[in-house]
């Protein structure tokens, strides 16, 4: 091979490499130019009709979200350097319209310690709220706002006595300050107890896996018919964010407490001073074929102890000795602890009630003067 032939080949290889490199560098520009001439928006694929459950969820949110409000609280503080009093935003939460008079229901812990509360509606209007009453033991509070025209509609009321685990539920609120947020889930459990502070335990709560986060507190929990069945009150989470375990105050309790708060500003719970348990009551009733409220324990120095009510006890051989079984309160038959609560809801501490009690196979009447719940 001659020297000139080798040089020609080397030149050809170098030229080819250079052309390939130039083509590689300019290809994106050529491609972009071609696409710019030919690219256009793609055709939209028709979706078809929404699923039935999607339609019902959308309708529920659109018809109920206007009744849910955003609550911002303000707390008075003193500047340690100047001594001047100043107002600081202390928290946010949710609430909902209770009636046509401008009453708004929320959690007690949403407004606890606040000196002022601002209620914002979904249409953008905001109103300064006045505190009507509060029940810390039920974590409920009532505010009132002066809405002159275009008042939001009160939420329709449901019942919590017939709830079943597995029912669909819907929570509307303002988590992390994000207004009008809808989350969905199911009733995960019933009659849950939750210690919220060292001195305060909420009993008989609805547990749900609907996402409930800080800011959802005080908002409504709705059933699939859009009826109020609970007030979202707390979450169980090490991180403070939703972990699929949320709790709500059942609406039957809300419907007992709120009217009292509106009328008198406070709710004093009357008590017999006996301890009961819904699940144990149901099991004992089925096992023994008895309908009533089983007295599992009697609180010390309570109205029940003073009246001589007899609690159940464990025997030396590990057995179970039945105590008193309350059959009726003032002639109103009771078959569960919830029945007894309803029978006492219109009573006040100091009132005397007559209990019909099954004791040792015989029916007796016991008169009890109600005490303040502890």
Mean pLDDT, each 10-residue run in order, the chain (374 residues) = 66 76 70 66 88 93 93 74 61 92 94 89 91 92 90 93 94 86 93 77 87 87 95 72 80 92 88 89 92 93 92 84 93 90 81 93 93 76
Enumerate the H helices of the chain as residue ranges: 3-38, 52-64, 108-111, 251-264, 278-288, 303-307, 337-344
pLDDT tens string 77-125? 656 656 565 566 668 899 999 999 999 999 999 998 888 899 999 988 9
- 68 Cβ contact partners less than 8 Å away, ≥ 6 residues apart: 94, 95, 96, 97, 122, 172, 173, 174, 180, 219, 220
Does 217 participate in catalysis according to the annotation?
A: yes
Tokens read off for 210: 């609907």
The predicted pLDDT at position 24 comes to 66
The predicted pLDDT at position 2 comes to 59
Question: Which residue among 90, 135, 139, 271 is the active-site one?
Answer: 139
Burial of 60 (0-12, 13-18, 19+ CB in 10 A): buried
Task: Kindly state the helix (H) or strand (E) to which residue 270 belongs, with its residue range.
Answer: strand 270-271
Q: How many other β-carbons are positioned within 10 Å of the β-carbon of residue 101?
A: 13
Does 150 participate in catalysis according to the annotation?
A: no
Question: Which residue among 109, 209, 271, 336 is the active-site one?
Answer: 109
Q: How far is CA 306 from CA 296, 302, 313, 369, in A?
A: 16, 6, 18, 9
pTM of the predicted structure, to 2 decimals: 0.70
- Residue pair 222/170 in contact (Cβ under 8 Å)? The answer is yes
Does 330 participate in catalysis according to the annotation?
A: no
Question: Which residue among 90, 135, 160, 217 is the active-site one?
Answer: 217
CA-only gyration radius of the chain, Å: 32
Tokens read off for 29: 């520009």
């Amino acid at each position: 091979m001659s020297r000139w032939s080798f040089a020609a080949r080397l030149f050809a290889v170098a030229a080819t490499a250079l052309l390939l490199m130039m083509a590689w560098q300019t290809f994106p520009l050529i491609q972009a130019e071609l696409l710019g001439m030919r690219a256009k928006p793609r055709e939209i694929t028709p979706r078809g009709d929404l699923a039935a459950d999607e339609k019902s969820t959308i309708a529920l949110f659109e018809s109920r979200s206007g009744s849910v409000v955003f609550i911002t609280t303000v707390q008075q503080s003193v500047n340690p350097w100047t001594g001047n009093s100043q107002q600081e935003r202390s928290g946010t939460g949710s609430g909902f319209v209770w009636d046509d008079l401008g009453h708004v229901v929320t959690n007690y812990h949403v407004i606890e310690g606040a000196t002022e509360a601002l209620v914002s509606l979904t249409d953008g209007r905001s109103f300064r709220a006045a505190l009507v009453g509060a029940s810390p033991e039920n974590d409920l509070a009532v505010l009132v706002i002066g809405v002159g025209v275009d008042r939001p509609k009160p939420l329709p009321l449901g019942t919590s006595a017939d709830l079943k685990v597995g029912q669909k539920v819907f929570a509307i609120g303002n988590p992390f300050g994000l207004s009008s947020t809808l989350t969905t889930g199911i009733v995960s459990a019933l009659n849950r107890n939750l210690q919220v502070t060292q001195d305060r335990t909420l009993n008989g709560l609805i547990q749900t896996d609907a996402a409930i986060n800080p800011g959802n507190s005080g908002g409504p929990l709705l059933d699939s018919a859009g009826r109020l069945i609970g007030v979202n009150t707390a979450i169980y989470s090490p991180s403070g964010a939703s972990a699929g375990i949320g709790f709500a105050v059942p609406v039957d309790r809300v419907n007992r407490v709120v009217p009292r708060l509106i009328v008198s500003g406070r709710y004093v719970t009357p008590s017999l001073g006996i301890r009961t348990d819904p699940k144990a009551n149901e099991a004992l009733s089925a096992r023994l074929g008895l309908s009533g409220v089983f007295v599992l324990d009697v609180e010390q120095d309570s109205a029940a102890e003073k009246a001589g009510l007899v609690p159940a006890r464990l025997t030396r051989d590990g057995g179970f000795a039945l105590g008193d079984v309350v059959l009726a309160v003032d002639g109103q038959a009771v078959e569960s602890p919830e029945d007894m609560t309803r029978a006492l809801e219109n009573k006040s501490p100091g009132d005397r009630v007559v209990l019909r009690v099954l004791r040792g196979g015989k029916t007796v009447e016991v008169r009890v003067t109600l005490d303040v719940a502890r």
